[in-house]
Amino acid sequence: MLEIKSITAQQWPQYEQDVLAIEAMAFSAAQCHPASYYLNILNSERQVSYIALVDGKVAGFLFCGPLEMFAQVAGVTDDPHFGQNTVLYDADIAVNPDFRNQGIAKKLKQQQIIDAKTLGYQVIAARNRVKYAHVMWCINQSLGAVEIQHLTGIYKDGREPNACVYNHLVL
Ligand SMILES: CC(C)(COP(=O)(O)OP(=O)(O)OC[C@H]1O[C@@H](n2cnc3c(N)ncnc32)[C@H](O)[C@@H]1OP(=O)(O)O)[C@@H](O)C(=O)NCCC(=O)NCCS
């Protein structure tokens, strides 16, 4: 049974190991983050983050926070809504390879859309890397996301293509 569970900073220690393990399976080392990155998001006001549990086992996650806390991420300060506190930024989403193609990422996003609206956000912004995050870009488009910017030369892992689609999903 799939459960999409909101998480808080207090619950982070319980999930930290599983989240970092799934992240390491899903991204190149240069794209992975330290635990403090996730905890920082969970400590932010108006954060929207979830753990996907399948029969109690952590199968995936989605961490998001207000756009303004990601000013160091390429493309973010060029967002036309930057500084307005109206955009929720998709910081990280991944599903354990053993649990993919079962609709878990889509359910995480659907719950996020509901909760983002409740919190007063007007837009969800995301960066989806060309090729490596193509499935995520397809999921985001299926939910209504459109490309805002095409960014190149932003990843430091030496892999090509080194480009991403910066996109908006208007709520
Ligand atoms: C992207 C990721 C999170 C998707 O997780 P998931 O739980 O397997 O995704 P879902 O099962 O919810 O999505 C399935 C959707 O993607 C579609 N899909 C699957 N593979 C696809 C492909 N190769 N091309 C296009 N669409 C594809 C499915 O048809 C389905 O769409 P539908 O619901 O309209 O039928 C997972 O693949 C992952 O962790 N990838 C590595 C990390 C990553 O890229 N994260 C995103 C960073 S921005």
Tokens of 23: 């992240």
Supply the residue whose CA is at minimum distance from atom 27 of ligand 1. Answer: 135
Are the beta carbons of 88 and 66 closer than 8 angstroms?
Answer: yes
User: Phi and psi of 63, rounded to 5°?
Assistant: -120, 130
Residue 23: band (very low, low, confident or very high) from pLDDT cuts 50, 70, 90: very high
Tokens of 36: 């403090």
83 CA distance to ligand 1 centroid (A)?
Answer: 31
The one-letter code for the residue type at 63 is F
Nearest atom in ligand 1 to 129's CA: 48
For the Cβ of 103 lying below 6 angstroms from any atom of ligand 1, the answer is yes
Digit-coded pLDDT (tens) for 103-159: 999 999 999 999 999 999 999 999 999 999 999 999 999 999 999 999 999 998 899
What is the rounded distance in angstroms from the CA atom of residue 95 to the CA atom of residue 54? Answer: 11
Q: Give pTM, 2 decimals.
A: 0.96
Residue-level pLDDT at 123: 98
User: Is the confidence at residue 7, as pLDDT, over 90?
Assistant: yes
Percent of the chain with pLDDT over 70: 100
For the Cβ of 131 lying below 6 angstroms from any atom of ligand 1, the answer is no
Are the beta carbons of 129 and 163 closer than 8 angstroms?
Answer: yes
Residue-level pLDDT at 156: 87
Percent of the chain with pLDDT over 90: 95
User: Phi and psi of 166, rounded to 5°?
Assistant: -90, 120
Residue-level pLDDT at 141: 98
The domains located in the chain, with CATH, are 2-170 (3.40.630.30)
Residue-level pLDDT at 30: 87
Counting ligand 1 atoms within 8 A of each CB, the residue from 110, 135, 143 with the most, and so the one to mutate, is 135
For the CA atoms of 66, 70, 73, 78, what is the dihedral angle to 10 degrees? 60
66: left (phi over 0), alpha (psi -120 to 50) or beta: beta
Nearest atom in ligand 1 to 106's CA: 12
What is the pLDDT averaged over residues 85-95?
98
136 CA distance to ligand 1 centroid (A)?
Answer: 5
Average pLDDT of the chain? 97
Handedness of CA 74, 77, 83, 85 (dihedral sign): negative
